[in-house]
Structures are given as C-alpha cells and as structure tokens.
Chains A and B, each alone.
Chain A
Amino acid sequence: MWIDEESRQSPVAGKRVFSLQSSVFSLQQESRQSPVASLQSEGRPVGAISYKSSTRQDTRTGAVAFLRIANCELRIADRGASMTWSPATLERAQQILALYPQRRSAVMPLLYIAMREDGRLTDEGMRQVAQLTGLTSVQVESVASFYSMYKRHVGAHVVSVCTSISCHLLGGRELLATMSDETGVPPGETAVDGSITVESVECIGACGGAPAVQVNYELVEGVTPEKGRELCRWLRAERPTLVRADELQRRFGGIRSFPAGADDPVGAVGPFPAFGPIGTAGGGS
C-alpha cells in the first residue's frame, strides 16, 4: 500500500484527500489488508471513504491481481486546515505551483505571496503555504527561517544598508549609523509604530556604486550621509506606498555600478521584493 504523492498534496479546505492504492498481488492478501483500517489503527481520523476496485490478469502467469483504490478524506483539525487567502490570491498561487515540476519547489515564491497578504510573514501565511505545497507548517517554517528576506517582524519600509567589503571601504557603516540616528531605529530593529526597519545587509551587488542602500529591496547607489538622512525624512513624511528604484536614485543617489538603461515603472509595495513570476511584477506600477 502506498499513498499517491499527488493526492497527498491536494489542498482541499478542511480536509486532505488521500488516494490509497493497494498493492496488486492477490485477492487473499488484499482482503486481509485494508489501507483505511491501517490508517485508523494509527489513530488518524478518516472521514468519508469511497472505493474503486478492479481486477487485472497477468498475461504471462495468468494470475489474477486485484487493485483497489480507496479515496478517503483525512481530517486534520490541528492544522487549521482552511484556505483564508482570497480567490484571486489562490489563483495566483495555483499559477505559481504550475511553474514547477514538484509542488514543494513553489515554497519560496508562495512565501513572498504570504508576506504580500499580511505585510510580513505570519503563522497563518505559513499555514497557507503548507496547505498549498503539501508540507506541514513546521516544514515551511524551517525553510522560511533559513532565508533572511522572509521576515516575521518588519516595518512597512525596510531600509537595508550594505556593509560588505566595497561599501565598508566607502562609508557603509557610517551611512548605517547616520540612517539609524535619523530614524531613531537601531540596526536590526523596527520602529515602535511599525513604520520602518533599519538593517545592515551583506553585499547587494552594487559595489561599483558604494555605499548602497535598498528600500523594500529597490536599489539606490552612491548614497552620501546627507542623502541618507534626506531619504529617511522622505520615508517618514511621505510614507510612500510605492517605492521605485529609479525615483530613489534620482532623489537620493549618486554614482552607480553601471548605467541603468530605461526606467522601470514597477516598484515595491511592501517589505518584500517586487517580483512575481506571473503577471507583470508582483509590485505596483
């Protein structure tokens, strides 16, 4: 007996549907071994059950094999198993799932969707991702906790100041101190009102435009301490709902790593990167 992998992963509100396909050896063996009974013996709550049965004859040996598929619903109460995302978000999630040969691969983009739903990563968001990918919430959390951009505690704007080697050589740490001073938010912390997070980050690939900063992962290069203060004041005064790299660069930037080419109309709408593989960007424009 085994559980069909695809069925295991089917997300259904309030329950999971398992397809239990029995082994195909002999009628006698099959009648003794009920897959549903074995699940029940493990103490797992089984809901509605339906069977599909068929027989097959092996053309070589003439033996008759018996195949039985039981579709049973497993009620998983402790996982709060209902989808709370909107139909539009769920549709987007399904499109993302379709981009990968295996559902689990969609964990990372779905975690960004979860952050977009709630403005940060929440237990509920991770539960939704777990349901969609066939993982447990704890498995999802173990993935999310590995990556620094899945943040459980973050302000509406996350200001990331690079302090890796090239930015370090050109004043990255001083810029970080200045921006912390201007916002009153120590590095790695979030303002009490939830408006802003200031953090030191490792190399963001803008070494030719050091020191570099990202606001909600939109880049601004060549930031002087004075411009860094202005940027903080702008965030505090305007609380911009859309953050665009080109605008940041024009207002607060200086030297850049390379010419940027055409403007990019898309920008970030929260403390997560403005990218979605489906649709234009996952940000706003």
Chain B
Amino acid sequence: MTDRILTTRMEAHPADAHTIARYEATGGYAALRKAFGMKPEEIVAEVKASNLRGRGGAGFPTGVKWGFLAPSTPRYLVVNADESEPGTFKDRQLLERDPHQLLEGIVISAFAIAVNRAFVYIRGEYPRSARRMQQAVDEAYAAGYLGKDILGSGFTLDVTVHLGAGAYICGEETAMLNSLEGKRGEPRIKPPFPAVAGLYAKPTIVNNVETISNVPWIVSNGGAAYNAIGPEGSRGTRLLSLSGHVVKPGNYEIVMGMSWRDLIFGIGGGIPGGKALKCWIPGGASAPWFTPEVLDEPVTLDDIARLGSMAGSGAVVVMDETTNVVEAALSIVRFFAHESCGQCTPCREGASWLQRILERIVTGQGRPSDLDLLLDVSDNISPGLRWPPAMTTICPLGPSAVSPITSIMKHFRDEIVAMIPGEVTAGV
C-alpha cells in the first residue's frame, strides 16, 4: 500500500525536484493529460470518491466544496498558500520543493470546475516559496501547461502568484479574497459563501496547497485508491508539522491512525534530554491542548475531534515538563491579539485583554480574581467555552485565542494559581 503521495519526488531528487525537467521525468503532467481525456464532472466524481478533505484546517470534503460552485462565469480558483498557523510549515515545503505538483493540481482542478483564472496567494514572509512557484508557473507557460489551449485541449488557464504582506487573518478564505481584491484583509460575513459570491463577487473555490497537491495522484490512481489509504474520515496521507520539544522536528507525511505515542516518541524521536512529556497542541495554535492521558489514542481527524480538539492545519507542537504553560499560552494569546483584524469587538478587545491578564500573571502581578476574569472574557468571546466553539465573531480567530486559556485552566490550573500572589478562590 502506498504510504507517500506528496513527498516522494522531493526526497528522491533533492537537488532539482522543483524543476519542470525533473517533474516531467518522474511522471509529472501525465495526470493532466489523463484529465483532459475525462469529462470535468468525472474528475469531480473521482475527487468526491477519494474523500479528500481540506488540509487548511477546517477539513471540509474537497469534492463536496467543488459541488457548491455556482454556475455563473467568470469563476475563480484561489489556492490558499497563506500558511501562518503557528506550528505549521508543511505548505512551505510543498511550495519550495515540488511546486509543479501543486501547479498540475491547479490545472486539473481548474479544468474540473471550469475555471480559467487561478491565483496562488502566498504569505509575504515566504518570498523563496513565491519565487519557486513563479518559476514553476513561468516554466509551465513555456511548456504549454498554462495559457491558451493547454495541450490542445481547448482549455485556457492563467495563474497569478500573489504575495501577501504579513497578516495571519488572510488565511481565512473571505479575508483572503478581500486581500486579493486589494482591500484590507477583513473576513466577510457568510453567507454568501465564496462558492456563490467570492472573488469580485463571482463564484470562487478556495483550497489549501496540500489539498490541491493531492489532486494529480487522485486523477492518476483513481479516487477509490486514495480512499483505500488510511482510516475512515482521514483518507489519504497527511503532512504533519512536528515542532517544539521533540528530538526530530520536521514535516512527516503519514497515513493517519497511528497513536500519538508513535508519532511523538517514534517518528519525533521523543523529548530531548529524556525529559517527560507535559502536553502538546494537536493541530496548530488554535486547537485545544492534549495531555499524556490520550497518548495511546489514534491520530485521526475524528478521534481528535472526539477528544475535544482539532487536527486543524496538521501542526503538532510538543511541550516538555519544564515548560511554563502560562508563558506558552501567553505566546499564543499574544499571537491572536496581534493578528485580530479588529472588526469584531469580542475578538479585538477580548484577545488583547486576555493577553494583558496573562502578562500580569507571568510578571508576578496577577490578582486573585484573574482566573475568573480570564474565564469571563473567554466566555464573552466564545459563549459556553465549548468545542467546537460557539461564535460571537465573523470568523474563528476570536475563539482560537480562547483555546490556550481553556487548555491551561483545564489541565494546569494549579500552575496558574501558583504564579498569582494571594488567595485565589474562584475560577472553576
């Protein structure tokens, strides 16, 4: 059974996997030729049959999303390469090391959903990724894989590589569309969803880099073959970004279903210095944290959700026993306070208040009432403090700032209390 889809070429050919010559020499663009022999709806059916789920964070079934696309024209495909979720660096590797794999996926996807214009929105801090992607686009135009009448199919596609400028929120799909329209990257109220009214108010599909990079393999091998890999609900392979206190951090393409123990102690090589594991974040900074009692639970989308968190962007951040979890939570809350676009009061004010409260606790100036205050502010951002969160805001950024708060309150309340001078009475 196949256990690698996305990373075989870059591993076998480290020097030139990003070039069109190597890509073609290793079977590249064969899936595109095959796709042009299919009807667009047959390609959509294969992607639906594959049960490919979005790799950006929400995990929505890709084929189903494509099916929502409204029939009017023009319509657009936007590839979300604004990878900014703390802990995540998988898309950067796909962009820098195998950009043609993504590009072939773009052409096939565009053909399948009848789009003639695609954009790759790459975050501003990834200039090397953007250069590699642009080089691939230029090579593809020269080779006839982009432009008018691609490979004599009569299909036309133009691709523009667009560079962001430092705003995490642009990874939210409607904020990305505003940004691409030359506006402030503020999320839009949904509905309408982008599939109905997206870029320039036209039907638009927004897909993640890793999601689209899987498409050539699915077309070559069939949706059924993809659906045969991995456990139900987590089909195919998945690139996990492992970081923090692990011996071997990095991106690992895995078939889901292994245990957290196998991931952190097997693949990740365990905790440096033989220290004990304290906790980890299973799916990026927005996700609630896990502690060692779930080490033997399987790593799948559904199991992570069942345990009250999310697989999110695939970023696993490991913390050892020496970690000051209040400072770690502060780092994450500061991130969300900084990246709040400012539209919604609960997020704009709430996240920055959470930051200020944690800062005074960390500097020894916490107040006995601060645990209650943390919970109260959190509850006003995300009522009921449940997962998945209830929303008081246009997008999920606000509730994401609450995840580290609820995590440390649930698992490490004693450690917060110990940092606060005086008697703490509440906060349960």
Contacts and interface: CB of A to CB of B under 8 A. Distances in A.
A-B complex is real: yes
Given A143-B183, A202-B339, A273-B125, A101 B74 contact: yes
A168 to B, nearest CB: 4
A232 interface: no
A147 B166 contact: yes
A157 to B, nearest CB: 15
Interface in A240-285: 245, 255, 257-262, 264, 266, 268, 273-275, 277, 280-281, 283
Contacts of B341: 146
Contacts of A170: 244-245
Most chain B CB atoms below 10 A, which of A107, A149, A203: A203
B89 A257 contact: yes
Given A105-B180, A202-B339, A204-B125, A261 B14 contact: yes
Contacts of B323: 169
A72 to B, nearest CB: 26
Contacts of A208: 89, 241-243, 249-251
A104 B181 contact: yes
B317 interface: yes
A207 B241 contact: yes
B328 interface: yes
Given A169-B328, A261-B14, A281-B131, A102 B319 contact: no
Nearest to B131: A281
B182 A266 contact: no
Contacts of A161: none
Interface in B155-197: 160-168, 179-186
A254 B130 CA distance: 23
Interface stretch (B44-52, B91-99, B101-109, B230-238): B91-99
Contact of B317 (A105, A143, A207): A207
Interface string A135-147: 1000000110011
Contacts, number: 199
B18 A273 contact: no
Interface residues of B, number: 70
A55 B335 CA distance: 62
A108 interface: yes
Interface stretch (A27-35, A78-86, A214-222): A214-222
Interface string A84-126: 0000000000000001111011111101100000000000000
A98 B382 CA distance: 43
Nearest to B16: A262
Nearest to B245: A169
B200 interface: yes
Contacts of B83: 205
Given A149-B166, A266-B131, A275-B163, A166 B86 contact: yes
A237 to B, nearest CB: 25
Given A169-B323, A261-B97, A205 B126 contact: yes
Interface in A154-190: 163-166, 168-170
B148 interface: no
B131 A274 contact: yes
A210 interface: yes
- Max chain B Cβ within 10 angstroms of own Cβ: one of A99, A169, A259, A268: A169
A224 interface: no
Contact of B165 (A150, A218, A261, A283): A150
Interface in B91-144: 91-93, 96-97, 117, 123-128, 130-132, 134
A148 interface: yes
Nearest to B170: A147
Given A99-B160, A147-B124, A165 B335 contact: yes
B168 A104 contact: no
B131 A261 contact: no
A55 B343 CA distance: 50
A259 B251 CA distance: 10
A257 B252 CA distance: 11
Contacts of A148: 165-167
Interface in B47-101: 74, 83-89, 91-93, 96-97
Contacts of B15: 261-262
B392 interface: no
18 contacts: A101-B117, A104-B182, A107-B182, A108-B162, A165-B317, A168-B327, A169-B328, A202-B339, A205-B125, A207-B89, A207-B244, A218-B127, A255-B249, A257-B92, A258-B93, A261-B17, A266-B131, A281-B131
Interface of A: 99-102, 104-109, 111-112, 133, 135, 142-143, 146-150, 163-166, 168-170, 201-210, 214, 217-219, 245, 255, 257-262, 264, 266, 268, 273-275, 277, 280-281, 283
Interface of B: 10, 14-18, 74, 83-89, 91-93, 96-97, 117, 123-128, 130-132, 134, 160-168, 179-186, 200, 241-245, 249-251, 281, 285, 315, 317, 319, 323, 327-328, 331-332, 335, 338-339, 341
